[in-house]
């Protein structure tokens, strides 16, 4: 059945103009295997995902960070149902694995509601493609009992109430746990606990993409239009946002970099915890598109991930509009956090008040 679906996808690609799996731009020519434009291919080649950390796993890694092309590739698989993205993700996982992959591959089970709505399980598709590439076998050893979604919940909520995962005994002694995207690691931890409870002795994990940890190591410069900016010496305590700027089909110069840093300086001072900001500036290649300049930003903060994207004929304008949108989102997030803190304080005072 899997081979039939991938064959149908390839046939459609021959009948219609091929698009990049990640950014969905029209390609000049069809590619062998998953179609990826040169810009996305270069970004994927130099991007490496973080180490996966969860209490129940022995080791883990992600092929890509959940930003830029990594985020788009996950979206292509999960939301656009481009199953060919599973092949590309599996190839990256097999090529970048720091150790030999176990023969038993266990996909992280999807929530029943999402499985019924999508009609497929992204993690299962990814696991199947990994099994094909590595010679292993998919073992559906887990099932998800609850109907709660992880998406849209804060980090604290995810860690406090992880999904209810059950194992279908018996399970192999050593497994590779596979998920499409990892944010907090709460789901991985719940899956690993269920596997170990059923007799599994070693659990390693792999994901297509993962949210980088808040305190990732930084480099001052990277080739290919990527820059990590460290906080300025003597900066206020709140100004602890690490900024990554990526240019895709757009040449980054010092003026654009300076504009981005200047625009996000106020946002940086509003953030009280270590955070990471990923900025992608790109230019549409289709001349018929009027708003060809696209500015996109993803802010990873403790307990929340904010995203803003704006388009304009001029990149300076797109950056300005995008930064204003992000500033509004940060302000709303802070107000919501204050309201929650006030509510918790009032509830605590009411409970401690003598009756």
Assign 219 a pLDDT band (cuts: 50, 70, 90).
very low
> How many C-beta atoms surround the C-beta of residue 64 within 10 A?
27
**In this structure, are strands 137-138 and 59-65 parallel, antiparallel, or unpaired?**
unpaired
Percentage of the chain beyond pLDDT 90 is 23
The pLDDT tens digits of the residues spanning 45-56 come to 988 888 888 778
Mean pLDDT of the chain: 79
The pLDDT tens digits of the residues spanning 70-96 come to 988 998 898 888 888 899 999 999 999
pLDDT at 213 over 70: no
pLDDT at 146 over 90: no
Q: Is 120 exposed, middle or buried (0-12, 13-18, 19+ CB in 10 A)?
A: middle
Q: Which fold has domain 46-210?
A: Rossmann fold (3.40.50)
Instruction: State how far the Cα of 108 lies from the Cα of 186, in Å rounded to an integer.
Output: 12
pLDDT of residue 96: 93
Percentage of the chain beyond pLDDT 70 is 78
Taking the complete model, does pTM exceed 0.75, yes or no? Answer: no
Token pair belonging to 250: 């757009």
Q: What is the DSSP letter of 83?
A: T
Higher pLDDT, 269 or 355: 269
In 3D space, the residue among 183, 110, 120 whose CA is nearest the CA of residue 142 turns out to be 110
Assign 179 a pLDDT band (cuts: 50, 70, 90).
very high
Q: Which class would CATH give 226-341?
A: alpha beta
Do the domains at 46-210 and 226-341 have one common CATH topology? no
Domain positions in the chain are 46-210, 226-341
């Amino acid at each position: 059945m899997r081979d039939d679906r991938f064959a149908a996808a390839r046939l459609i690609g021959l009948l219609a103009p091929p698009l990049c799996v990640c950014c969905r731009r029209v390609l000049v020519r069809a590619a062998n295997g998953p179609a990826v434009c040169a810009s996305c291919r270069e970004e994927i080649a130099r991007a490496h995902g973080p180490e996966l950390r969860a209490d129940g796993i022995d080791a883990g890694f992600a092929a890509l960070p959940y930003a830029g092309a990594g985020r788009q590739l996950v979206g292509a698989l999960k939301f656009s149902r481009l199953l060919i993205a599973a092949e590309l993700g599996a190839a990256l996982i097999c090529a970048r694995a720091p150790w030999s992959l176990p023969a038993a591959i266990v996909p992280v089970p999807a929530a029943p509601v999402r499985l019924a709505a999508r009609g497929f399980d992204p993690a299962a598709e990814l696991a199947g493609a990994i099994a094909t590439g590595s010679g292993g076998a998919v073992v559906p050893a887990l099932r998800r009992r609850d109907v709660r979604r992880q998406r849209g919940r804060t980090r604290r909520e995810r860690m406090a109430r992880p999904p209810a995962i059950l194992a279908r005994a018996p399970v192999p002694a050593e497994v590779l746990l596979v998920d499409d995207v990892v944010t907090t690691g709460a789901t991985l931890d719940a899956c690993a606990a269920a596997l170990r409870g059923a007799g599994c002795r070693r659990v390693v994990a792999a994901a297509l993409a993962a949210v980088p940890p808040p305190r990732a190591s930084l480099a001052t410069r990277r080739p290919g239009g990527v820059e990590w900016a460290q906080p300025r010496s003597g900066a206020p305590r709140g100004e602890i946002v690490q900024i990554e700027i990526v240019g895709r089909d757009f040449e980054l110069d010092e003026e654009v970099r300076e504009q981005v840093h200047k625009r996000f300086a106020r946002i940086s001072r509003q953030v009280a915890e270590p955070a990471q900001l990923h900025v992608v500036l790109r230019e549409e290649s289709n001349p018929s598109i009027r708003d060809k300049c696209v500015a996109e930003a993803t802010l990873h903060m403790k307990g929340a991930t904010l995203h803003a994207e704006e388009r304009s004929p001029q990149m300076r304008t797109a950056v300005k509009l995008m930064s204003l949108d992000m500033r509004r989102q940060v302000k709303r997030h802070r107000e919501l956090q204050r309201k929650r803190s006030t509510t918790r304080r009032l509830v605590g005072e009411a409970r401690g008040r003598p009756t």
